Every structure is written in C-alpha cells, then in structure tokens.
Structure 1
Amino acid sequence: MNGKSAPRTPGGTPPRTRLERGRGALGPALELVRTGRAPTRAVLTSELGVTRATAGVVAAELATLGLIRVDARPTAEGSQGRPSHRLSVDPEGPVVLAAQVHADGFRAALVGLGGQIVATTPGCETVGADPAEVIGAVVDAGAGLLAETGRRCVGAGLAVPSAVAEPDGTALNPLHLAWPPGAPVREIFRRCVAGAGVPGPAFAANDVNLAALAEHRHGAGRGARDLLCVATGHRGVGGALVLDGRLHSGSSGLALEVGHLTAAPDGRPCHCGGRGCLDVETDPLAFLAAAGHRPGPEGSLLQQARDLIAARPDDPAVREAVTVLVDRLGSGLAGLVNILNPDRVILGGLHRTLLEAAPERLRAVVADRSLWGRSGSVPILSCTLDHNSLVGAAELAWQPVLDDPLAALAAL
C-alpha cells in the first residue's frame, strides 16, 4: 500500500466500490448492449435500474475488457434531452472459435460478440471415419485463422449433425457420418482445442439446436417466445425448440428429434428402424430422388437440390417433387404445431428453399392439418443467417462471458 486513497467520483464513492456493487450488472449490461436494447448509457442506466454513476462504471469496465465501445463524446439522445454516451459492441474485441462438421465437410470461423463472423476457412468437403482426426483438422484450421488475424480468443464451440447426450457430450447417432455411435465429441473437441493452444472453454452440441439458438438471438427468431426450428442439413432432418428465450434440450440433451416423425407411412426405410420418417422423406436426397435426378459426385446434396430448384423451376418433375416434399413437410409441421403450440416456426436448409418455392401451399397444408390452423395461423418463416450453426456454436462459447464477463475473462 502506498498510503494513497482510491480516487473518488464527484459523488464521493470510489469507482471500484461502485463496480463491486454493480458487478452483478455486468452480464445484464453486456446483454443489453449486445442486443441493441441499450444504445446509450442513459438507456443502460434506466434498464438496469442503477444510478448514472454505477452505470458509467459498469460500461467503463466492459470497455476495459474490450467487449464494448463507449463513445467519448456524448450525444443529445439521453433522458430529458441530457447528452449521453453511445454504447456498441467493440468490433475489434475478442472472438470465439466456431466449428461445424456435417455429412459433406467441415468449416471453422471466428465469431465476435453479437454473432458477427469475422473470418472463415474454406469449407472442406471430406469427412473421415475418425472423429478425432476430423475435429482435430477443423480446430487446426480455426487456430490458423487466429494466428492470421491476431484476434484474442475467449472460447470455442462445435456443431455436429447428431444428438449430443448430456452430461457426457457424446454424439449418439451421427447417422450420416461414418463415426461410431457414442463418439465423445465434446471431450475430443476440448483436447484438440487445448492442444492447438486455443484459450477458453470448449463446448459441443447438435447443429440444428445451435442454428435455432443463433436465429433466436440474431435472425428470423428474434422476439419469439416459443420458437420451433426445423431444418435439413446436408443429409437428414433436425429440429429444435427455444422456450421463453432458452434452448429446450430435454432431460439429457435429446429433445426434438423431429426427423423421426412419420411423414409417409408407406415410405422409405429409415435409419431409426421405422418407415417414411421426415429424415428420409424431406431431406435433399429425397428431393433429388422425387425429381428423378441422380446425385452428382461434386458438391453437397443440399446444394445440388437447391441448384435444381433454382435452375429448373418450370420443369414438371421438379415442380412435382417440390409439391410432394412440401406436403410431407407440412404434415410433419402440423403435428409439431399441435403438440408444441409455438408462436413462430422457422425453416432452414432445403426446407427454407421449399418454403420459398411454394409458400402458400406449405402454409395451407400446415393450417389444414393443425388443430388451431384455421383460428390462429402460426407464422412460418425462412431462417435468415448464413452459417447459422456456426454462429450458434459461437453462442455456446460466448455464454460464460455473457453470464459473468469479469470472471470469464479473468480465467483466461
């Protein structure tokens, strides 16, 4: 101790004391700035229910951590015409490493606070049978991005095309990968992240769950209370539910396996042992088969299906395939609407393309076959984010920082 007292604000309270009192407000304050609900310090003060001085110290601490920017010059947009400093996410602030593995390849990205993709690697189109090799490769690619950009990393997240069981973090059914059932993907990811020298905690979860989380925070699901997301990946169909702002994953992480709802009772055999499931009746391979189009060796099945719809919209076989898959998808969505009563449905992957190709038909099928369809139709929208599973993987990694910025960053 040098005998000097802590500096005091005009109100007489040391800034550090105010920060200690307001530490619990750091996470809520960061959330308010991240979502744009507190564009100025005056609004932040009002939303947090603290004094102006405490809000100022909280904002200053978040800026010191590199998470937000506080404009040096106040604007005339504060309360009662009083100037107030503008707040925004710092675009040069920390990032997280996000990784995605799917049936046709993998990709890594750096994602900033607020869901902004800072950099991505080219997509790799080869996925081997050893999950450790694949996950190691995508982590190495992400570590290369960190080295190139020089950005500070605060964590890592991985999206995989499988239900991920909790609390073990095992991929129970990577059906469209050659991986063994029960692969410990979370532990493998954590080892690879640590081995590559990437700082921060590491997380892994199902890709459609993460897509729903990203869309709810940054895309087509913003503002929804009970959001249902259904999407095709490059193969198969997945679903996710966000209830009252939180991802619903069930008691052990396995909720919303919607791909195994029956869409065509006499349809194709499914990997689950049933027949005619959404997973095999409404995915890209099913569309190509319905259109009489043999899958090509180049490019993902999802892109091939999208390209076929875009290039030949007036082809009778393509139109018929769209109609068949829209009817199957609509029937499955109606059952989900009956059970879950969401206030919004969003569709991704090929399902987004089908909605855009035949919006009225799909909405009519859902309305006709759901109990409440005629009295209160559910909005059905397209997902809007590029690489939403990657953004969702990043959201997993950002969550500790959102919960307690000071503790999370001090631990690095």
Structure 2
Amino acid sequence: MSGEAAPGAAGEGTTRTRLDRGRGALGPALELVHTGRAPTRAVLTAELGVTRATAGAVAAELEALGLIRVDARPGAAAGSQGRPSHRLELAEDGPVALAAQVHADGFRAALVGLGGRIVATAPGRETVDADPAKVLGSVVDAGAELLRETGRRCVGAGLAVPSAVAEPEGTALNPLHLAWPAGAPVRKIFAERVRAAGITGPAFAANDVNLAALAEHRHGAGRGARDLLCVATGHRGVGGALVLDGRLHTGSSGLALEVGHLTVNPEGRPCHCGSRGCLDVEADPLAFLTAAGRDPGPVVSLLQQANDLIRNQFADPIVRTATRALIDRLGQGLAGLVNILNPDRIILGGLHRTLLDADPERLRAVVADRSLWGQSGGVPILACTLDHNSLVGAAELAWQPVLDDPIAALART
C-alpha cells in the first residue's frame, strides 16, 4: 500500500504511519464494503475513523488486489449535499469461495463472491450416500468443475451440513437425517477432497443453520440486528442459531442452539433424540405433509412439496388446518426461546418462512401470548431473504481469512 508523505521533516514518518494504519485497516475496510455498509469512500473514511488520504490508499490497495472497484469519477446521489464521493463496489470478476451444502434430499455446490453473490451453482443431486467421503468427494468435484468453467480464483472452501459440528475437531455429531455415522470427521474429509481436487485455500465446515444465520446477518434479513435468533427447517428437522454482537454464538464446543429438541408437544411424535414432541419432528416438512394427509413423493424434495402445498392449496381446509397446527407448534418454541435469549429480531428460514408468509399474524400472536416479553411490544419476526443462505454462509467461512487479512490470505491462494 502506498502512503502520501506530509511536507516537512516528518514526511517519512507520516508516510510510514499511514502505511501501517492503512494495512491494518484493509480487513475492516473490505468487510464494510462486503456487507454493504461502505458504498462510498466518504462513508469508508467515517466508518474507519481515518483521514481521507488513508481511506483513499486503503481503497486503492483493495482495488489493486482485485477485490473492489473504485469509481474513477466521484458522484453524488440525488438530493445529497456536500462533496461528491467515489463509489465503492465489489469486483464482479474477483475471486470466489467454493461453497458446498449437504442435506437430506441431496447436495449442491456453488461459487460465491464477495457480498454474498452466488456466481455459479451446480445442479442439486437427489441421493446422499451413507459414506460421507463419497458425498463430499462428489460435491467438491462439482465445485471444481465450476471453477474450471469460470476460470475464477478460489480463496477457499466452506461446507454446510445438517448436524451440530463439534469444535475444534470438526466432527458431525448428530447427522440424524443422513445415513452418516455419528461423529463423522466431515471437516477433515472435506479438506482432503478439496486438496485432492487441486483447490487452494483453507477448508471449513459448520452447521447449516448457523451458516444461514451468518449469511442473513451480513447480507439479508438479519442485517443490523444485535441479538439475532434464526430458526429454520430445510429438508428435514429444525435448527437454530444465535448471532450476538455480529458473531455466531456456538457455545464452548460448537454445539449451542440445538433448538430442534425443544419439546412443544409432550404427547407428540417420537423424536430421534429419544424424547417426544420436539420441534424437530413437529415443525418440519415431513410433519407438515403428514398433518395434511399427504404421502411424500419420491422425486421432489420434502421441502419443495411442503412449500408448494401451502402456497398453492392453502384454501383447502385440511391444508389450512395443518398449516395452523405447525404455526402453533413453531410459535410455542419461539416463545420459549424469546424468554431465554431475549433477541431483538427473529428470522425464519425454509418451511418456517413459508408458514410466516401464510399467516403472519397468527404466528406473532402465539409468540406474544406465550412469551414474557411479547406482551410489551413483541420481537420482530421476519422471513429470511437470501436464496441458498446456507451456501452463502458456507462461503463466508472461506472469505473470513480474507476479511481478516486480505494480503496474507490472497498470498496463500
């Protein structure tokens, strides 16, 4: 990074100070642009608390690294006052992260750029082998093919799995809806497959709902929340995640927020955990299809079948009754979480997003009626807004080293 010397005898020292300060600001600056919080160089200057010269040097260095683009001519938004500022945008042809997701109905690979933008995806597959090495090998191969087709530079890889992932080992402790053995070393296997495919950069793995929450907090419905609760059901089961002060709260060993095993119906269905009436079996797509008297088909995913049924046949009394039953179960679970966690926002993903869309007032009323804090204003309950948010979150894992230290991370890839 270059610095501008101040006139006089202190010029050399000032240049070195700017140089050091600018390099330390590269990561924070990139994160501000990455999350949409610094659309112009003026905003970047204010957010970093540096001089205009330092902010300009930081932006120029990030542009030289191929990460952002700085408008050559400053412009002002309509109706704005003051000096026009250079716009900052993420480089459309910049590096990407390989994101992979495995779920009960298949798996998917994608390339994701800065800003959470999905550049390319490989078609989802509908069979998941009982051997995690085979599945992860296949999804990495699909991602490697995307990299060959696009010619993009890759900064690393991230994997989302429907299981709690223990830290620091990176093992999937409870892949209940996959045929994988408990404790499968998914991070190690994934990293080995990534290296074998010739993909450079570090490899990571984490729980899919944790990653969905991370993506939504940075790029979607959770942006700006301080204490964000995310609850979602994808293809099977229910998961939860909590973001506190901008960071995922994963507990002492990565296992926090297993909300799927909150009991919401003591006389309900047997759960895989050995209890009965857990959210995991009372508020997921299979539970809905069963309540609606539908036999799950073998071709289309459970999530798509459930979503389509609510969206297209809500006027059917049986479908409407089943929808409201799941809303009530979900609302009971959310109320309990509100009482414990006191979040300032709740976001819902997967089928839960569809339930919210179908009858938002009913869900909010159940939460308000059953939570201590609901009666005093309520907690905003919003739908997740990102498509494939677990994939975007998996990419965030791979992007994090670049956000921490762009020069060092890109030098390793």
- For 2:161, the aligned partner's letter is V
Instruction: Give the partner amino acid of 1:115.
Output: G
RMSD: 1.7
CA change 1:19–1:340 in 2 (3 A) is same
Aligned to 1:70: 70
Change (3 A) 1:9 1:281: same
Instruction: Compute the displacement of 1:240 (Å).
Output: 0.4
Q: Deviations over 1:315-374 (max 9, x none)?
A: 111111011111111111110000000011111111111111111111111110001111
Partner of 1:57: 57
1:33: Cα distance to partner? 1.8
Check whether the contact 2:3–2:57 (CA below 8 A) recurs between aligned residues. Answer: no
Q: Quick one: which amino acid aligns to residue 382 of structure 1? A: A
Unpaired stretches in structure 1, ≥5 consecutive residues: 1-5
Structure 1 distance, partners of 2:43, 2:349, is: 35
What are the equivalent positions in structure 2 for 1:10-409 lying under 5 Å apart?
A: 11=7, 12-13=11-12, 18-75=18-75, 81-409=82-410
Q: Which amino acid aligns with 2:28?
A: P
* TM-score, length of structure 1 as denominator length: 0.95
For 2:148 and 2:208, the matched residues in 1 are separated by 26
Q: CA deviation at 1:313?
A: 1.2
Does structure 2 conserve the Cα–Cα contact (< 8 Å) formed by 1:95 and 1:154? Answer: yes
Mapped contact 1:102–1:160 kept (Cα < 8 A): yes
| Per-residue deviation, 1:89 | 1.1
Cα separation, 2, equivalents of 1:321 and 1:332: 17
Aligned partner of 1:3 in structure 2 is none
Check whether the contact 1:136–1:189 (CA below 8 A) recurs between aligned residues: yes
Task: Tell me, yes or no, if the aligned pair for 2:3 and 2:18 is still in contact at 8 Å.
Answer: no
Q: Is the 8 A contact 2:167 2:254 kept in 1?
A: yes
Answer whether contact 1:105 1:124 (CA < 8 A) is retained: yes
C-alpha distance in 1, partners of 2:403/2:108? 25
CA positional deviation for 1:74: 2.6
How far, CA to CA, are the matches of 1:88 and 1:20 in structure 2? 24
Structure 1 residues 276 and 56: CA distance shift in structure 2, 3 A: same
* Helix, strand or coil at the partner of 1:374: helix
Q: How far 1:181 sits from its partner (Å)?
A: 0.3
Deviations 1:155-213 (A, max 9, x none): 11000000000000000000000000000000001001011011111100000000011
- Partners of 2:276 and 2:89 in 1: CA distance: 51
Q: Verify the 8 A CA contact 1:15 1:57 in the aligned structure 2.
A: no
Q: Measured at CA, do residues 9 and 228 of structure 1 come closer, stay the same or move farther in structure 2, by a change above 3 Å?
A: same
Measure, in 2, the Cα distance between the counterparts of 1:76 and 1:331: 49
Measure how far apart 1:376 and its partner are.
1.9
Provide the identity percentage: 82
- Farther off after superposition, 142-151 or 350-359: 350-359
In 1, the alpha carbon distance for the partners of 2:245 and 2:390 equals 20
Alpha-carbon distance in 2 for matches of 1:366, 1:273: 26
Where 1:114 maps in the other structure, the secondary structure is helix
Shift of 1:76: 5.1
Q: Report the Cα offset of residue 84 of structure 1.
A: 3.1
Q: Distance in 2 between matches of 1:128 and 1:264?
A: 33
State the secondary structure of the residue aligned to 1:123.
strand
- Gapped runs of 5+ residues in structure 2? none
Q: 1:229 Cα shift? A: 0.6
Deviations 1:286-341 (A, max 9, x none): 11111111111111111111111122111111111011111111111110000000
> Take 2:215 and 2:129, find their aligned partners in 1: how far apart are those partners?
27
Contact in 2 for aligned 1:19/1:58 (Cα 8 Å) = no
Distance change (3 Å), C-alpha of 1:83 and 1:284: closer
1:208-242 CA distance string (max 9 Å, x none): 00001111111111111101111112000000001
* C-alpha distance after superposition, 1:234-255 (max 9, x if no partner): 0000000011111000000000
- Provide the secondary structure at the position in 2 that maps to 1:276: coil
